[in-house]
A and B are shown apart, each in its own frame.
Chain A
Amino acid sequence: MATKAKYTDSFFRSLNKLTGIPMNKLKNYAKENNPFNILEHPGVVDPNDRQLEKISKLNEFIASYNVLKLEQENEKITFRSPNDAGKYFASLLAGVKDKERFLVGFLDNSNSIIELRTVSEGSTNMAVVYPRDILKMAMANDCSSIILSHNHPGGSLKASREDVSLTQRIVDIFKPLDIDVIDHIIVGGYSYSSMAENDVLPKDKLHVANYEPIELSAAEEEMGEYDISLDDEMEM
């Protein structure tokens, strides 16, 4: 069976990256065969010892993964409280000290994550967020709400005026589209704080939507007292 229409170049590149089998060998074999036969019967592409070991590991991984996936695929990550959101974002941002990263979670109408994207990754004292990019991602995910999170490399958990202002800019863009910004989680060190819980999260549109890039500098000033230590809440 010809497989040209079924398997993309990107797939062959991926298989090449993981196994070391040259692209031309993979493609030639796939012209008349299912390329996944290679994982079961690696001899068909005449691999060297190293490639054989990689194929064997990949095959074993896929088999184990599929069993686990069947058991986990109906499990969604749903945010029922600021605590849920804080733990989730802290699992990705805790301990990041060498740069400032800005993440956006796109949620369905049950507050379950559809997709999580990094929208900005800057130096220790500056990151730039492009609202247009967030909007494009939100449209692509057909989300009902979004949740923002970024880390303070200096470790402060307090939302700065700049953080509030940035959140307001995002609310001004998304509120007219009926997409709520449900929280903005700030991660510092191994702890986190929630702007919603701290009651500093802008909720309503105040200004005309402004799509210009937003510069996020590392001003980490005090605005509240709320924070939770991950030492008690989760194991890292």
Chain B
Amino acid sequence: MNRQIIQNAKEEKVMELMCEVLELKKESENKVVAAVNALGIPMFFKSIDALDIEEEEKDRIRALKEVIDTKAKSIESMKGGN
């Protein structure tokens, strides 16, 4: 198994979990998967606004981004000893 296959498998797993957390409609899920495949996950989160899905679904993705960003900040502040 080469690095690319491992990488793809990791991305697929993250995508699968993300779709389960977000509970998107099937059509939206397909669009999200296509966008992540084309952009990569970090860039996908910078392009939420441009996705062609319902606003309520975008809000859920933004909520997910806020939670993961807050967790990252929380870990950063612990590293700084705060």
Contacts and interface: CB of A to CB of B under 8 A. Distances in A.
Question: Chain A interface mostly helix, strand, loop or mixed?
Answer: helix
Interface in A67-110: 67-69, 71-73, 75-77, 87-88, 91-93, 96, 101, 103
A126 interface: no
Contacts of B38: 87-88, 91-92, 234
A11 B70 contact: yes
A54 B18 CA distance: 11
A91 B35 contact: yes
A118 B49 CA distance: 6
A44 interface: no
A7 interface: yes
Contacts of B11: 68
A101 B52 contact: yes
Given A77-B43, A113-B43, A234-B38, A61 B14 contact: yes
Given A15-B67, A18-B64, A61-B21, 20 more contacts: A6-B77, A11-B70, A14-B70, A15-B63, A18-B21, A18-B67, A34-B74, A36-B74, A58-B67, A61-B18, A61-B20, A64-B17, A65-B14, A91-B34, A91-B37, A92-B52, A101-B50, A103-B50, A117-B50, A236-B34
Contact of B68 (A65, A72, A96): A65
Interface string B62-82: 111011101110100100000
